[in-house]
Amino acid sequence: LRWPELYFKVRRILGKEEDEQSEGYLVDTQNSTLYLVGSTNSAVPSAPAYNSHEFWSSLAPAGLSDVVKQLCDALRPHLGSHASALSGACSVLLSGPSGSGKLVAVRAACSCLNLHLFKVDCVSLCGDTSGATEEKVQMAFTRAQQYHPCVLLLKDIEVLGRDRDRLGEDARVIATLRQLLLDRDSALSHPVLVIGTTCKPQDVPTDVQTAFLHEVKIEAPSEEQRRSMLSMLTASLPLGKEVSLSKLARRTAGFVLGDFCALLSHSSRAACTRIQALSFPGGLSEEVERDFCTAGFPVLEEDFNVALDQLHNAHSQAVGAPKIPSVSWQDVGGLQEVKKEILDTIQLPLEHPELLSLGLCRSGLLLYGPPGTGKTLLAKAVATTCTMTFLSVKGPELINMYVGQSEENVRNVFARARAAAPCIIFFDELDSLAPSRGRSGDSGGVMDR
């Protein structure tokens, strides 16, 4: 990754030096001459970022400050004069969902430590043969060494070490990558610091994963982190007075940095469409549209609602951001005792968190009854009333013919729910997913597992 600035380092000053302790010199452009003697290796000087958004140039981006600190703590010991006493090279495996801000965190850590950043997409390192891939990997490490002090960022490292069919492992590439990650060349004054990123840590070959000295995981941001992200990202965006970032943070459970960028893009587009429809039915000329973009226009709450609906409809399954259906208790007829029991189980712990510390909390509810009695409707009403995210899963959809895939599907459901917490998981047709033990009738024992 190339830095947008070009730096010049003063290596030597020729001339009369009256005071060796002088902190600086004044250059007379009429009587001074500059000589360029080629490139030199040096740390990136600390300088303010110009013409850059506050979030992207921040040393502690909102919602990612803890990750940046972990990266700095892992890299800093290998930069001092005593680094040669440390065994092995410095390497960090950074994992997190797609769009969670892995690259932003790495950039911030490099800025904090004044390090260069050399980014390599591992897809470009995959060759037609094992030898070609091995040569490209070694060349990437060699180039990173030329830019020292430097961090080599290996993006999507899970694609390395796989054969051409992506079904098995390539032992030759894995052995080379392990050697580059584990062995430290004592002749190098500035070793290569390696950070590998992945969205699927389970797909990283075991031998490659164990070669990394540190592992850092980016979790789904909490409600407070989401609010701070929105506050920082919308700092230069004109918002309507009725827009509440706290309310928006509660409605975006499970969202990551990439989702927030898409949300702001969609909401700005919705605001532009709204203004065009209200004021200019016939459309805008290119000149008037340019003036509107220059002047800016406020983004209202209704624009965010439109953007959220678009994102939920298009990406709810992909990004794990479940949509809360609009169902109220007035839509549910009767069932007063069932309503009271459900509210005591779900809403009471939210209003009185001290009950959780005492262990006085039910793990869930089992709704049973004939078809059409309102079991699904009750669950949706609870999700809407308690302002909790709602995740509906049909039991048969989780069953898979391959060994271990059904269990992984169940784990993924709970992982999505944890990312969107507080969340309600509604298992529809649970009897098809969890029948009586030993009575499933399948020879593989999938149901029992």
What are the pLDDT digits (tens) for 402-419? 777 778 888 888 877 776
Evaluated on CA atoms 20, 26, 31, 36, the torsion sign reads positive
Is the pLDDT higher at 427 or at 173? Answer: 173
User: Given a cut of 90, is residue 121 above it in pLDDT?
Assistant: yes
- Beta-bridged to residue 217, according to DSSP, are 95
> Which ranges of 3-129 would DSSP assign to H, the alpha helix?
54-57, 65-75, 102-112
- Enter the DSSP assignment of 390: E
For strands 214-217 and 193-198, give the pairing: unpaired
Is residue 442 predicted with pLDDT exceeding 60? no
Residue 446 has pLDDT above 60, yes or no: no
How far apart CA 140 and CA 356 sit, in angstroms, is: 51
What single-letter amino acid sits at 43? A
Element (H, E) at 284: none
Task: Give the model confidence (pLDDT) of 41-86 as tens digits.
Answer: 888 887 665 555 677 778 888 889 999 999 999 998 888 766 666 6
Sign of the CA dihedral with 265 first, then 386, 229, and 2 last? negative
Stretch among 77-81, 129-133, 151-155 having the lowest mean pLDDT: 77-81
Cα separations (Å) of 276 from 273, 283, 286, 293, 447?
Answer: 5, 7, 13, 12, 56
Whether 157 and 208 have beta carbons less than 8 Å apart is answered as: yes
Q: Could you tell me the end-to-end alpha-carbon distance of the chain, in angstroms, rounded to an integer? A: 47
* Residues in contact with 240: Cβ distance below 8 Å, sequence separation at least 6, in sequence order: 298, 299, 300, 301
- Range of weakest confidence among 16-20, 122-126, 284-288, 372-376: 16-20
Q: Torsions phi, psi of 216, nearest 5?
A: -125, 135
Q: Which residue in 364, 363, 442, 366 sits closest to 406, CA to CA?
A: 442
pLDDT mean across residues, the chain: 79
Question: Cβ(149)–Cβ(78) under 8 Å?
Answer: no
Rounded Cα distance, 258 and 98, in Å: 8
Cα(19)–Cα(11) distance, rounded to whole angstroms?
A: 18
Question: Does residue 324 register a pLDDT over 70?
Answer: no
Per-residue pLDDT, 1? 43
3-state DSSP assignment of residue 393? strand
Measure the CA–CA gap between 96 and 98, rounded to whole angstroms.
Answer: 7
**Category of 139 on φ-ψ map: left (φ > 0), alpha (ψ -120 to 50) or beta:** alpha
Whether 93 contacts 204, CB under 8 Å: yes
pTM of the prediction? 0.74
Least confident of 193-197, 219-223, 315-319, 414-418: 315-319
Query: Would you call the peptide bond into 422 cis, given omega within 30 degrees of 0 as the criterion?
Result: yes
Mean pLDDT of 329-355: 75
239 φ/ψ angles, rounded to the nearest 5 degrees: -110, 150
How far apart CA 9 and CA 43 sit, in angstroms, is: 10
Token pair 């098809």 is found at 432
The domains located in the chain, with CATH, are 54-217 (3.40.50.300), 225-319 (1.10.8.60), 329-433 (3.40.50.300)
pLDDT higher at 163 or 316: 163
Pairwise CA distance, residues 87 & 296, whole Å: 55
Distance CA 305, CA 275 (A): 16
> Between these two residues, 152 and 182, which has the higher pLDDT value?
152
* Cα–Cα separations (whole angstroms), residue 422 to 33, 223, 245, 390, 418: 66, 10, 18, 9, 8
Q: What's the rounded Cα separation, in Å, for the pair 100 and 397?
A: 27
Length of the chain: 449
Distance CA 17, CA 23 (A): 12
CA angle 210–216–217, rounded 5-degree value: 110
How do residues 231-278 score in pLDDT, each as one tens digit? 999 988 888 888 889 888 888 877 889 889 999 999 988 888 887 776
3-state secondary structure of 398: helix
Please state the rounded mean pLDDT for residues 115-126: 91
**Res 213 pLDDT > 80:** yes
User: Which pLDDT belongs to residue 440?
Assistant: 52
Q: Residue 18's pLDDT band (boundaries 50, 70, 90)?
A: low
For residue 270, give the amino acid letter.
Answer: A
Percent of the chain with pLDDT over 90: 16
